[in-house]
Structure 1
């Protein structure tokens, strides 16, 4: 069972990765090009490119997206397998809820603290430090989400779904507020960088992740529900 779910998660992750790549290609890449154009306008010239833009926006982009989405699909499948027997939701509902929780914990909340910036923004000297801070924020957010969900599940039998959900959300927000306040702020966006362009880039980045996680949750849930129905039908016969 777990093996088949794991393979399905990787397969659906690749499908979701192709959809995310399409969004990134036609919505995200124009924002990156504008960021490089801004860098050239400052007479700084673009940073030396080890790989050309055509490769970056083509094979490099799609390979990176597919590896990431396949890995997330595998982790998603493991989380789904762990929750399937403990949830009253059907496969579709559970997959959708898990995808939403992952999107919030891995993407939305960490980027509230450390939002995505165009490639022309930020110093190369602080790249490693900024990357470490973001990954630590992701780890904190995922741990806080797991704690909040388990705490809410314990409250569910005695206090009902509504109260359990509100308490779980409040606990997650509290932990992230306290934990996030310890992390140092990072703001390397130059004052001359167009605010609208920065906003459009961050929206495109968020949209790529939304397409990936949304597709992963919906397609995985649909395939799993169909497979379980087929198994029940075969067993009844």
Structure 2
């Protein structure tokens, strides 16, 4: 188990390096534009009005005091978008890489028996991780760039997002259990389809129940907003799918020497 855990953490780190490239190339330009928008209104730009107040960071967009002007950022923007971004994504990747390896060890051979190779199971697990932990919660509460979101609702936004994430994870577990039960009377693929439908039905109900959060400033660029959100999804997709591919390649040889009757390559 320790060997798989180490491989999972390494695969998470390598996938995080790829995700950082996506974030720098596609996400950072949108963050820069959002910060420029925020600073424009914070300093009373030409389109500044009272209905913009409250958006963005945890402060009102009013004229800065002399002390605020002279105060330097604790971490410069240059460090945030380079070293800070890399460290944050790397830690995220390593942590979820470890969780990924544990999930693989628990699930391998239990869902499709020996019908799928190590690499295919790892890839499917990576895609499932993206669906459960990123796509489903993100469709309800997508990522927002700076200047989007009200400071007064940050608590309920955060709580609602984690409720969606936790429920998505629990629904995936229920879907998996449903699949295992149905596989005793149906084919594996039919049981998998039924389990997937159950998962989508459960998360669909919560998507309708949880409150929507529409807090985009009226004159904020729709192109910047959606470009940022697409970049956020793309970064996470590269991380999770990359982790599945890399871990599968790294674990295949180990599994061949520690488990008997491994399936043929699929």
Work out whether the TM-score is over 0.5.
yes
Q: Which digits, 9 at most, give the CA deviation of each residue in 1:71-116, with x for residues without a partner?
A: 1001100000001131422211111111111100000010111011
> What are the residue-to-residue correspondences of 1:72-221 with 2, within 5 Å?
72-86=96-110, 87-88=112-113, 89-221=116-248
Q: How far 1:125 sits from its partner (Å)?
A: 2.7
Q: TM-score, normalised by structure 2?
A: 0.82
Partners in 2 of 1:44 and 1:172 — Cα distance? 47
Higher fraction of helix: 1
Partners in 1 of 2:131 and 2:85 — Cα distance? 23
Partners in 2 of 1:42 and 1:52 — Cα distance? 20
Can you give the 5+ residue segments of structure 2 that lack an aligned partner in the other structure?
45-55, 58-67, 261-266
Give the 3 Å change call, closer, same or farther, for CA 232–129 of structure 1 in structure 2: closer
Q: Secondary structure at the match of 2:186?
A: helix
Is the 8 Å Cα contact of residues 38 and 146 (structure 2) preserved in structure 1?
no
> Displaced runs of 4+ in structure 1, greater than 6 A?
none
Partners in 2 of 1:127 and 1:64 — Cα distance? 21
Partners in 1 of 2:159 and 2:31 — Cα distance? 23
Q: 1:34 corresponds to which residue?
A: 33
Q: Secondary structure at the match of 2:183?
A: helix
Instruction: Select the structure of larger CA radius of gyration.
Output: 2
Can you give the 5+ residue segments of structure 1 that lack an aligned partner in the other structure?
none
Partners in 1 of 2:188 and 2:250 — Cα distance? 27
Q: 1:24 corresponds to which residue?
A: 23
Q: TM-score, normalised by structure 1?
A: 0.91
Partners in 1 of 2:177 and 2:117 — Cα distance? 19
Partners in 2 of 1:118 and 1:169 — Cα distance? 32
User: Which moved further from structure 2: 199-208 or 166-175?
Assistant: 166-175
- Count of aligned pairs: 232
Partners in 1 of 2:230 and 2:157 — Cα distance? 20
What is the root-mean-square deviation of aligned Cα atoms in Å?
A: 1.9
Give the 3 Å change call, closer, same or farther, for CA 77–179 of structure 1 in structure 2: same
Partners in 1 of 2:259 and 2:93 — Cα distance? 30
- Aligned match of 1:53 in 51, 58, 77? 77
Q: How far 1:230 sits from its partner (Å)?
A: 4.7
Partners in 2 of 1:149 and 1:100 — Cα distance? 15
Q: How far 1:126 sits from its partner (Å)?
A: 2.1
Partners in 2 of 1:44 and 1:106 — Cα distance? 38
